[in-house]
Amino acid sequence: MSFHLQREQQFKELEDFIDSVPEKTSSLITVLHKAQEIFGYLPEDVQKFVAVKLDQPIAEVNGVVTFYSYFTETPTGKHIINVCMGTACFVKGSAEILDEFERKLNIKVGETTPDGKYTLQVLRCVGACGLAPVVTVDDRVYGHFTKQMVGKTLEEYN
């Protein structure tokens, strides 16, 4: 499928979703969640599209996008690695694990590898503190993580 056609379908999907929302005035965050699910991130044209469809100023849409850490304006890699930096994980050494990921991937937190394979992020507590320190890759949770597991985990997703 050509990039252009795929993009068109994505916008169509978003439009259908917005049309199905009964209550437009308060649905901005709900719509942005859906948009990010469809596009993977929220580029300018998507934000503009949402603004027009919901009849809200683009500045307001952008204000919401940049306020919440869940929304991102830059594309993410194929796999998203999250190192939990909640307190329980932090006191059990998650900062060292993050260092190791940064070193192995040669990127800083928040960045994506040049090949578009991995994005490295931190999050604040997934609520699985019994497994601290925790790392998540996409939807999978890895508990009792150690620095030594970094290499092996990356290989799993290679």
Partner 1 sequence: MNRINSYEELQKINQENSEKLKMRTPSHEEELAVENKRCQRIITVCGGTGCQSSDSTKIMDCLKQEIEKEGLSDEVTVSITGCFGFCEKGPIVKINPDNTFYVHVTPADAREIVTEHLLNGRAVRRLLYEEPAVKQAVRRQDEMCFYKKQNRIALRNCGFINPEDITEFIGAKGYLALGKVLTTMSPDDVIKVITDSGLRGRGGGGYPTGKKWYFAKIKEADQKYIICNADEGDPGAFMDRSILEGDPNSVLEAMAIAGYSIGASKGYIYIRAEYPLAVNRIMIALNQARELGLLGNNILGTDFHFDVELKYGAGAFVCGEETALIHSIEGKRGEPTNKPPFPAESGLWEKPTCVNNVETLANVPAIILNGADWYSSIGTAGSKGTKVFALAGKINNVGLVEVPMGTTLREIIYDIGGGIKNGRKFKAVQTGGPSGGCIPAENLDLPIDYESLTAIGSMMGSGGMIVMDEDNCMVDIAKFYLEFTVEESCGKCTPCRIGNKRLLEILTRITNGNGTEDDLKTLKELGQIIKDTSLCGLGQTAPNPVLSTMKYFWNEYVAHVKEHRCPAGVCKTLVQFEITDKCIGCTKCAKNCPVSCISGDVKKKHLIHQDRCIKCGACYSSCPVNAIIKV
Regarding beta strands 79-84 and 140-142, do their DSSP bridges make them parallel or antiparallel, or are they unpaired? unpaired
Asked whether position 68 contacts partner 1 by CB under 8 A, the answer is yes
Asked whether position 85 contacts partner 1 by CB under 8 A, the answer is yes
Using CB under 8 A, which of the segments 4-12, 42-50, 82-90, 109-117 binds partner 1? 82-90
Asked whether position 86 contacts partner 1 by CB under 8 A, the answer is yes
User: What are residue 142's phi and psi, to 5 degrees?
Assistant: -110, 120
Asked whether position 127 contacts partner 1 by CB under 8 A, the answer is yes
3-state secondary structure of 83: strand
Site for partner 1 in 94-123 (CB under 8 A): 96, 99, 103, 123
Asked whether position 51 contacts partner 1 by CB under 8 A, the answer is no
The residue with tokens 């929302």 is 21
Spatial contact of 78 and 113, defined as CB atoms under 8 Å apart? no
Annotated binding site: 84, 89, 125, 129
Asked whether position 18 contacts partner 1 by CB under 8 A, the answer is no
User: What are residue 83's phi and psi, to 5 degrees?
Assistant: -100, 125
Asked whether position 53 contacts partner 1 by CB under 8 A, the answer is no
Asked whether position 45 contacts partner 1 by CB under 8 A, the answer is no
Amino acid at 68: Y
Distance of CA 142 to the CA centre of its chain: 18
> Which helix (H) or strand (E) covers residue 79, if one does?
strand 79-84
Q: Which residues bind partner 1 (CB under 8 A)?
A: 25-30, 32-33, 60, 63-64, 67-71, 85-88, 90-92, 96, 99, 103, 123-132, 139-143, 147
